[in-house]
Amino acid sequence: MCYNLLMSDPALSVIMVSYNTCAVLRQALRSVFASSTSFPFAVWVVDNASQDGSAEMVANEFQPQHANLHLIRSPRNGGFSYGNNLALSEFSAAGRATGQPGAVANIVSKYVLLLNPDTILPPDALAAMVAFMDAHPQAGIAGPKMVRPNGQLDLACRRGFPTPLNSIYKLAGLSKLFPHSRRFASYNMTFADPDTLTEVDAVMGAFMLLRAEAINQVGLMDDSFFMYGEDLDWAYRIKQHGWQVYYNPAVRVIHYKGESTRRSSYRMIIQFYRSMSIFHHKHYAGTTFFLLNWLIAIGIWGKAGLALVQNLLRPSSRKRVAL
């Protein structure tokens, strides 16, 4: 699909979906607006009915200073896909014309970045990632090297799809037993050099840079995924249209991870494994032998039960989603 940018339209639209993340959202926004770019960009903060004053903080501290910042106050917490789709619909041509979200977006900026509020960008991250996309016209998606505050690689920043075999290897623990095996560790790709540019199946939604043309072809995110799995699903659909997905370690982004889910970790554990089940049924179950489908279902919900028990036994300060 070809489209023309209006002079008033940004080259990059950044979407940040927030739910009770006031403190980290403030840090993330400061890092975004400290970015050094030669192109215009706009930031859309979607507040998913936070109760910690996140929306008020954005309105009072950032909107008066930044005309390119837009705040959407969602009346409910509809999840990550729901929040991103609210913003995508607002800055699509169809959304502008009708005021209503549509099944297929017509994005007016060249690139869209999904960015979590628990990230910190170096000043050159936006410019470097956009330059990478400009240099790789077949790239529909790209993501940077995501690291935790202690410098440890966030394994989810480069992944293979959870095919039936990959799911069994991960659920059975073989990926941890054989982290250097291309066969058993293909989901988190621990066999690959984390400092090498690599074409992958998917990158994580915490920093997911997309070419608007690819979004225009495949449509909005699937909001049947409340949280987790929606980035994999979008990457899967975009790759089906012939686009490539790249992990670009030349750009390094800090990811605190889990700030928006820590207080409701039991619910998020269930959502994580539910998303695994949705992804399998949507993309693989129809072409997979029924006994293998049963085995995968048993593995997914068995792991979910184990994760819930493990979380119950942890001290409250350490309760988390076991990814």
Structure tokens at 234: 């979008």
Residues 137 and 268 in one domain: no
Give the whole-angstrom CA distance, residue 98 versus residue 112. Answer: 21
Q: What is the pLDDT of residue 296?
A: 78
Which one has a higher pLDDT value, 311 or 217?
A: 217
Structure tokens at 64: 């008066």
Residues 109 and 86 in one domain: yes
126 Cβ neighbours under 8 A, 6+ residues apart = 12, 14, 32, 35, 37, 41, 113
Give the whole-angstrom CA distance, residue 3 versus residue 128. Answer: 24
pLDDT for residue 264 is more than 60: no
Helix axes 290-313, 164-171, angle to 10 degrees: 30
State which of 17-26, 167-176, 221-230, 278-287 shows the largest mean pLDDT.
17-26
Residue 168 included in any domain = no
Residues 43 and 114 in one domain: yes
Q: What is the pLDDT of residue 258?
A: 60
pLDDT for residue 293 is more than 80: no
Residues 82 and 230 in one domain: yes
Mean pLDDT score across all residues of the chain: 85
Which one has a higher pLDDT value, 23 or 226?
A: 23
Residues 314 and 198 in one domain: no
Give the domain-ending residue among 240, 255, 270. Answer: 255
Residue 59 included in any domain = yes
Q: What is the pLDDT of residue 215?
A: 93
Give the whole-angstrom CA distance, residue 108 versus residue 89. Answer: 11
| pLDDT-derived band at 302, boundaries 50, 70, 90 | confident
Residues 275 and 233 in one domain: no
pTM metric for this prediction: 0.84
Q: What is the pLDDT of residue 97?
A: 47
Q: What is the pLDDT of residue 320?
A: 54
What's 205's domain CATH number? 3.90.550.10
pLDDT tens figures, 177-226? 999 999 999 999 999 999 999 999 999 999 999 999 999 999 888 887 77
Q: How far is CA 46 from CA 15, 269, 311, in A?
A: 7, 23, 29
Total domains in the fold of the chain: 2
Give the whole-angstrom CA distance, residue 269 versus residue 303. Answer: 10
pLDDT tens figures, 142-173? 999 999 999 999 999 999 998 888 888 887 88
pLDDT tens figures, 99-148? 444 445 577 789 999 999 999 999 999 999 999 999 999 999 999 999 99
Q: What is the pLDDT of residue 312?
A: 74
Residue 42 included in any domain = yes
Give the domain-ending residue among 255, 270, 297. Answer: 255
* Backbone angles phi and psi of 146, in degrees to 5: -100, 130
pLDDT for residue 308 is more than 80: no
Q: What is the pLDDT of residue 78?
A: 86
Residues 80 and 133 in one domain: yes
Give the whole-angstrom CA distance, residue 170 versus residue 208. Answer: 24
Which one has a higher pLDDT value, 20 or 297?
A: 20
Q: How far is CA 68 from CA 9, 33, 197, 265, in A?
A: 10, 10, 32, 34
Note down the domain range covering 314: 262-318
* Backbone angles phi and psi of 253, in degrees to 5: -125, 135
Closest C-alpha to 209, from 102, 92, 131:
131
